[in-house]
Structures are given as structure tokens and as C-alpha cells.
């Protein structure tokens, strides 16, 4: 199968910072085989995607999300709470998570990501109500149906309220059960090969919802299975205070003691990271999923993402779940990262190209991949095209890359994953979208009524 993406402004995101105007990309069987401005002598394609008037970038890589939370977006009873308060409201709602809701919530969130130009996403599903199995399997089915490259992480919680943790006992699991399911998922699904569409990582939720022993055993299992590690760390000041009180150390030191500061790990947030800790992350090769909207919406703080990048830490972008970011819009995070960096460090702190780099090659680094994240011959044919022809970019005539980021272009015109066009002209290439959204909306209402009985006026 040959796909020709023709006549776009290419921002390749490679080490040479290649940019080509009026250029084309040829994808053969999911791999980029040609890039250039002269495509007349190239092998004839089976399909042509016209990228005229678009900036073509490597497909965006989402490094942190909770897809199941699409079922509790803008959830009124939890709004205005800090992270811990928000979680306490929602745990009893999430107790309803089962295979159908895991599938539908993933389908809707993944479709939204594809429309934003995201071609690879991780997910962190850490709520596994007692007696429910197959939740990760269900979201893997949704990802396979849609065709997105997927890195689900087997999340877990083992420290409930009875033992000093935050979540209720109904959503925590036994450690042996957690680790057995981690191993099952890796053995069944994990594909470490070049061009992989599916990789599993292990992901205990956070210092306040799992035991230290589960963190340590997860790190050992990840080493044994040769898969990556993911967790929330240093997200809020409350978490830093909790770690000081319970463990006598800051979150980064705790992670280090438990075997987590390594090149196998990418951390979500790391907002409360000081200069010494940044140096430790850089030395260890530990990557960070920077989630600007989430951090702002929940008031978590200003992540020193710029300092991290300057110190050599790999930083990717994540849209995070509806704890704070109620949209699965990774493209929006590129602009948010730019704005937040300028707010923190001044107007020259970050360029649109820097922000795009975080969303592409930075994200690939978080996931431990070298075959995605840039447009280069031999890499996976994952890309997104953003239009320069709409109202929002009218008047932006000098720099197409700065224009698509600064002018708040809303969505991708086209999204290509593994050489397949999954979004064309801003529309998802699936006949099931309306059905899935209708079912998802009905399910979300049933979930909400579990907590707040139906208001007949709604
Ligand atoms: Zn999160």
C-alpha cells in the first residue's frame, strides 16, 4: 500500500530541523520511503492525500491520559476541588467501570485524539473495581478498531482508605492480582518490534494510592519483562506534603528509593521538581509527561519544563484525563505549552517548533521509541496536516509553523497512522462515530445518576 502526501509545508522534527515547502512524503506499507519536493519519478501511489495549504508535522504523541475519564467530564460535584477532593468525589462514580464503559470511553477519547492530529497515545487506566476484569483489553479493542498506535499502561491502586490511602477499598486490588494481570497483558499484547502498534507499560497510580512495595515490585517486573514504567509524581504541593509526612522524603527521593528513577520511566507532571531533582532526572534518563492544561486547570503549579529541557530531560506532552483537562485535545496542548512557558520564563522561552518538538520527538522519547516522532525515511508513516487556509490563520503569512500553533488552528485536516488515512478533511474515517458518541453520552448520564439522582428538569 503506497500513500502519497502531496504538496505540504513539511516540518520534519528531525535532528537537522528540516523544513521543506511544497514537499511530499511517500509511505509504503506504513513506513516513510521518500521525502522531497520532486515526486514525479517516485513509484505511483495507490492513494494521494492533498496537503496543499497545510503544514505537515510528525503525528503527535500523547504521553499521559485517562481515557475512562471522558465519562466524567466537567463533572459539577467535583469542580472547584483540589486534586484530592476531586478524586474523593469521583472514585464512587468510577466504581461502575466495566468492559463496556472502558471500551466506549476509550473509543470516544481516541477518536478525539485522532481528530487533533495525535497518532500515538498512552493511556493510564488505574481504576480496576473489585471483580471487574478485561478493562485494558476492552480499550485495546477500541484502539485496534480505530487504528491509532497505542501504549496502554496497566495502572493500579493497592492502598485504600483502610490503610491510609486515598481511594475507597472497592477500587483497590491485591498486589499479587495486579502483578499477575500486568504480566498477562504484556505476554498477550506487548509488541517490542520496530513499527509496533501496541506496547504495554506498568503504572502504579501515585504515592498516595499504592504501597511502596507495589512500586518496588512493579519496577522489578518491568525490568524482568523489559517494558516501561509510568506513574504520577510530584503533581501537587499536597502530594509533596503527604510524602514528607508518610515517607519522610520528597516524591523524587521516594521514587529513587523504590527503583523508579531510571531510563525505563516516564513521570506524569513532575510539577514540584527543584533544580537538584531536575539534574537527577537528567542523569537517570527519566522522562517527563508535561500536562500544561491539567496543571493550570487544577492549580497544580508551574512545571519547570523549560529548565528540564535545558538540563537534557526528555519532556513530552500529555493532555491528561478530565481531572483537569476535559478535552482529549493534544494539539491544544502544544499551544498551552507555549503559553505556559512564556508565562513562567518570558516570551522567548519557547518557540512553536520547540513546543511541537515536545509533542512529537519528546513524546516518542517518553515512550522509549525511536521509530516515531519525526518525518524521516525509515520511520513510521505517522503524520498530521494542519490547515493554513482557514479564518484563524488569515494574515499569518510569514511563518507557517508559528502560525498553526499561535493562531489556534482548531483541528487537523488529515491524520495518518501507519500509512493509513484515519482523518480526512477534518472527518474521522469511521462510520461508527455517531453511534459511539450516543452510547457514551447515555452511559455518562447513568454514571452521573449513580452519584446524583436524576433531576427531572435536565
Ligand atoms: Zn493523570
Which three three-digit cell numbers place residue 192?
517490542
In whole angstroms, what is the distance from residue 65 CA to residue 221 CA? 23
pLDDT at position 452: 63
Per-residue model confidence as pLDDT tens digits over 21-53: 999 999 999 999 999 999 899 999 999 999 999
Measured from the Cβ of residue 168, the count of other Cβ atoms closer than 10 Å reads 17
Q: Separation of 270 CA from ligand 1 center, angstroms?
A: 11
Measured from the Cβ of residue 180, the count of other Cβ atoms closer than 10 Å reads 12
Handedness of CA 326, 332, 334, 339 (dihedral sign): negative
pLDDT at position 323: 66
In whole angstroms, what is the distance from residue 131 CA to residue 74 CA? 28
Q: Separation of 321 CA from ligand 1 center, angstroms?
A: 6
Domains of the chain listed by start with CATH number: 2-58+380-428 (2.30.40.10), 60-366 (3.20.20.140)
Q: Separation of 155 CA from ligand 1 center, angstroms?
A: 11
Question: 176 to each of 167, 183, 214, 256, how far by Cα in Å?
Answer: 19, 11, 9, 23
> What does the pLDDT average to over 342-348?
96
- 367 touches 61 (CB < 8 A): yes
pLDDT at position 410: 87
Q: Separation of 320 CA from ligand 1 center, angstroms?
A: 5
> What does the pLDDT average to over 390-414?
95
Q: Separation of 94 CA from ligand 1 center, angstroms?
A: 15
Q: Separation of 67 CA from ligand 1 center, angstroms?
A: 10
Q: What is the mean pLDDT of the chain?
A: 95
Per-residue model confidence as pLDDT tens digits over 146-157: 999 999 999 999
Q: Separation of 32 CA from ligand 1 center, angstroms?
A: 33
Q: Separation of 78 CA from ligand 1 center, angstroms?
A: 16
- 453 touches 145 (CB < 8 A): no
Q: Separation of 217 CA from ligand 1 center, angstroms?
A: 21
Given a cut of 60, whether residue 221 has pLDDT beyond it is: yes
Q: Separation of 64 CA from ligand 1 center, angstroms?
A: 6
Q: Separation of 282 CA from ligand 1 center, angstroms?
A: 22
Q: Separation of 339 CA from ligand 1 center, angstroms?
A: 21
- 218 touches 182 (CB < 8 A): yes
| Residue for grid cell 452510547 | 439
Global pTM reads 0.97
| Residue 71 confidence class, pLDDT cut points 50, 70, 90 | very high
Residues with CB under 5 A from ligand 1 (ion): 320
Q: Separation of 379 CA from ligand 1 center, angstroms?
A: 29
Q: Separation of 125 CA from ligand 1 center, angstroms?
A: 9
Phi, psi for 93 (deg, rounded to 5): -75, -40
Q: Separation of 426 CA from ligand 1 center, angstroms?
A: 28
> What does the pLDDT average to over 325-332?
90
Helices (H), 165-270: 175-189, 212-225, 237-246, 251-257
Q: Separation of 65 CA from ligand 1 center, angstroms?
A: 6
Maximum CA pair distance of the chain?
Answer: 69
Q: Separation of 130 CA from ligand 1 center, angstroms?
A: 21
Given a cut of 80, whether residue 453 has pLDDT beyond it is: no
Question: 158 to each of 136, 211, 228, how far by Cα in Å?
Answer: 17, 6, 20
- 213 touches 257 (CB < 8 A): no
> What does the pLDDT average to over 55-77?
96
Going through 234-345 in order, the beta strands assigned E by DSSP cover 265-269, 287-290, 315-317
Q: Separation of 453 CA from ligand 1 center, angstroms?
A: 28
Q: Separation of 211 CA from ligand 1 center, angstroms?
A: 18
In whole angstroms, what is the distance from residue 266 CA to residue 317 CA? 11
Q: Find the Cα–Cα–Cα–Cα dihedral 144, 148, 153, 156, rounded to 10°.
A: -70
Given a cut of 50, whether residue 458 has pLDDT beyond it is: no
Amino acid at each position: 500500500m503506497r500513500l502519497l502526501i502531496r504538496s505540504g509545508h513539511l516540518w520534519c522534527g528531525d535532528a537537522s530541523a528540516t523544513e521543506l515547502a511544497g514537499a511530499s512524503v511517500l509511505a509504503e506499507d506504513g513506513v516513510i520511503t521518500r521525502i522531497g519536493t520532486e515526486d514525479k519519478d517516485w513509484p505511483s501511489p495507490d492513494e494521494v492525500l492533498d496537503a496543499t495549504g497545510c503544514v505537515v508535522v510528525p503525528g503527535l504523541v500523547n504521553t499521559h491520559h485517562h481515557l475512562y475519564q471522558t465519562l466524567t467530564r466537567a463533572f459539577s460535584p467535583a469542580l472547584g476541588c483540589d486534586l484530592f477532593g476531586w478524586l474523593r468525589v469521583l472514585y464512587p462514580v468510577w466504581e461502575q467501570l466495566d468492559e463496556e464503559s472502558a471500551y466506549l470511553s476509550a473509543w470516544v477519547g481516541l477518536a478525539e485524539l485522532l481528530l487533533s492530529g495525535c497518532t500515538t497515545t498512552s493511556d493510564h487506566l488505574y481504576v480496576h473495581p473489585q471483580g471487574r476484569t478485561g478493562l485494558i483489553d476492552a480499550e485495546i479493542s477500541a484502539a485496534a478498531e480505530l487504528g491509532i498506535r497505542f501504549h496502554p499502561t496497566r495502572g493500579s491502586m493497592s492502598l485504600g482508605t483502610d490503610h491510609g490511602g486515598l481511594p475507597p477499598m472497592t477500587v483497590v486490588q491485591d498486589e499479587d492480582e495486579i502483578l499477575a494481570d500486568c504480566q498477562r497483558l504484556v505476554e498477550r499484547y506487548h509488541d517490542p518490534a520496530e513499527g509496533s502498534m501496541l506496547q504495554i507499560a506498568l503504572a502504579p497510580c501515585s504515592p498516595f494510592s499504592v504501597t511502596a512495595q507495589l512500586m518496588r515490585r512493579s519496577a522489578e517486573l518491568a525490568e524482568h519483562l523489559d517494558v516501561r514504567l509510568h506513574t504520577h509524581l510530584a503533581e501537587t504541593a499536597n502530594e509533596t506534603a503527604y510524602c514528607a509526612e508518610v515517607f519522610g522524603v520528597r516524591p523524587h527521593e521516594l521514587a529513587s528509593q523504590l527503583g523508579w528513577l531510571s531510563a525505563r520511566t516516564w513521570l506524569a507532571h513532575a510539577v514540584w521538581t527543584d533544580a537538584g531533582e531536575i539534574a537527577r532526572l537528567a542523569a537517570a534518563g527519566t522522562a517527563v509527561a508535561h500536562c500544561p492544561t491539567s496543571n493550570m486547570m487544577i492549580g497544580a503549579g508551574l512545571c519547570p519544563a523549560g529548565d528540564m529541557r535545558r538540563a537534557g530531560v526528555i519532556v513530552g506532552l500529555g493532555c491528561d484525563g478530565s481531572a483537569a483537562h476535559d478535552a482529549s485535545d493534544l494539539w491544544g496542548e502544544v499551544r498551552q505549552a507555549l503559553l505556559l512557558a512564556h508565562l513562567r520564563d518570558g516570551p522567548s522561552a519557547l518557540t512553536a517548533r520547540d513546543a511541537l518538538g515536545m509533542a512529537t520527538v519528546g513524546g516518542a522519547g517518553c515512550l522509549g521509541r525511536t521509530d516515531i516522532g519525526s518525518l524521516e525515511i525509515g520511520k513510521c508513516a505517522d503524520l498530521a496536516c494542519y490547515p493554513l487556509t482557514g479564518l484563524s490563520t488569515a494574515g499569518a503569512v510569514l511563518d507557517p509553523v508559528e502560525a498553526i500553533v499561535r493562531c489556534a488552528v482548531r483541528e487537523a485536516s488529515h491524520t495518518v497512522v501507519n500509512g493509513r488515512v484515519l482523518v480526512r478533511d477534518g472527518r474521522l474515517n469511521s462510520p461508527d462515530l455517531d453511534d459511539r458518541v450516543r452510547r457514551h453520552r447515555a452511559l455518562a448520564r447513568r454514571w452521573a445518576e449513580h452519584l446524583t439522582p436524576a433531576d427531572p428538569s435536565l
